[in-house]
Amino acid sequence: MSEIVFIEQRIINAVKKLLTGKFNDYLRVLDFQIPFVEFGIFRGVNVVAPLIAISSCEQTEKERIVKQDIYSLTVVFPVLDTVESELFCFAYADAFYKALGDDVTLGGIVDRAIVTAKKYVPPKKAGCGMDWEVVLMLRVTVEGLN
């Protein structure tokens, strides 16, 4: 029996590959030590495991006519509350923009992926153990799946 892989799974896997590849490469060249992205049960001072969520998105009439599927993708980076948290948030956003700019098709899986929103979320109360977050929202276009 062959394995069925849905386009949503392929998109999420492509984003994970981007984050563990080009994204981490951009973090490596920074002048300061910053936690890299890894996926699994890891989390802590040396590793960040972002949350990736996908949902279908409203289509324009033109997108319906040319049979484009549109997805909204959210990538959330939890950043431990430290002195450097805000700096790390800016670095994660910058590295994501650069990595996505190098590969807007996510390895040929989609036609185009663009960042539509970026938000830095500090903890509600500083020093209480809550995390900072970088929230990036993307609009992903895939042609011909209807």
Domains, the chain: 7-143 (3.30.70)
Mean pLDDT computed over every residue of the chain:
88
Is the pLDDT assigned to residue 1 strictly greater than 80? no
Predicted TM-score of the model (pTM): 0.88
- DSSP state, 142? E
Measured CA to CA, the distance from residue 135 to residue 96 in angstroms comes to 11
b/e code 121-139 from CB counts within 10 Å (16+ = b): eebeeeeeeebbbbbbbbe
What's the farthest any 2 CA atoms get from each other in the chain?
A: 52
Q: Which residue has the higher pLDDT, 42 or 132?
A: 132
- Among the listed residues 112, 104, 108, the one whose alpha carbon sits nearest the alpha carbon of residue 68: 112
pLDDT of 146 reads 45
- Strand 68-79 versus strand 47-48 pairing type: unpaired
pLDDT of 43 reads 63
The average pLDDT across 103-129 equals 89
Is the pLDDT assigned to residue 16 strictly greater than 80? yes
pLDDT in tens, 56-82: 877 777 777 777 888 999 999 999 888
